Amino acid sequence: IILVLLISLISVSADKGNNGNGDIDVVAFQGNQNGPGLKNSANDTNNTNQSNGTNQGVQENQNTQNQGEDQNLIIQERQQIRAQTTEELKQMIQQRQQEMSQEVQQLQIGVTQKNTYQNQNRVKLAVHAMLAMENLTGGIGQNISKIAKEFNNSVNKTIKSEEKIQNRDMFTKFFFGGDEVAAGEIENEVIQNQERIQELKKLRETCTCDEEVKNILQEQIQSLEQEQTRLNQLSNGEKSNKGLFGWLWK
């Protein structure tokens, strides 16, 4: 009887031990279940945020592209406008001059760069004026517009070259001199522009247009000449700056 009782007690103790281990395993299993669940929730949140960020980036790029397209349309429409009277031509020139002045003031750039744009704007204003007067200059109107567009392309090139010169650091200038490549680019544009100016002068002489229109055209020619003089001086000054060691290969 005593032996049977001892066997029964041993069996009960073993069952309790097994139940305890089982409980621990369940808790551990539940913990493992909760772990991945939390990670999945975090991943879902990250994926959602990334998706929102991507969509926002796409939207911003689209907005930027749309703004660029709108700006191009404005420029195209502006270039298509032609004055029908001398008074209208004057108003268009004055309005464009005010717009360009405001645009330069709003640019987040240094004083030197602003001066560059202000100087080059003389050419852009002349381009605008010559395009606007096409219907007032008789048979030479299209020829004047063609030269005006060539000047517009040229000024975009000279602005970039002038910015290269301005951005050349003092260390490089001191030891190696000026940027001869940029200076050469400006020089080439000046040579071509001087030829265009001579062509404009010939066209003006043959123009059967109103004398006041002739005077306005002459003002634009003078503005173009002044800017070419400035660019030529800039180019020569940059090429003459040899620096401390520049004479070795220049």
- pLDDT tens-digit profile of 121-174? 999 999 999 999 999 998 899 999 999 999 999 999 999 999 999 998 888 888
pLDDT at 76: 46
Q: Is 29 helix (H, G, I), strand (E, B) or coil?
A: helix
- pLDDT tens-digit profile of 211-230? 999 999 999 999 999 999 99
Alpha-carbon distance of 21 to 28, in angstroms, equals 11
Q: Are the C-beta atoms of 222 and 201 separated by less than 8 Å?
A: no
Alpha-carbon distance of 135 to 232, in angstroms, equals 33
Top mean pLDDT of 42-46, 112-116, 185-189, 236-240 is at 185-189
**Rounded to two decimals, what is the model's pTM?**
0.66
Task: Give the residue ranges of DSSP H helices in 81-140.
Answer: 86-106, 111-132
Alpha-carbon distance of 32 to 27, in angstroms, equals 9
DSSP 29-79: HHHHHHHHHHHHHHHHHHHHHHHHHHHHHHHHHHHHHHHHHHHHHHHHHHH
- pLDDT tens-digit profile of 15-24? 444 444 443 3
pLDDT at 226: 96
Over residues 83-105, mean pLDDT? 94
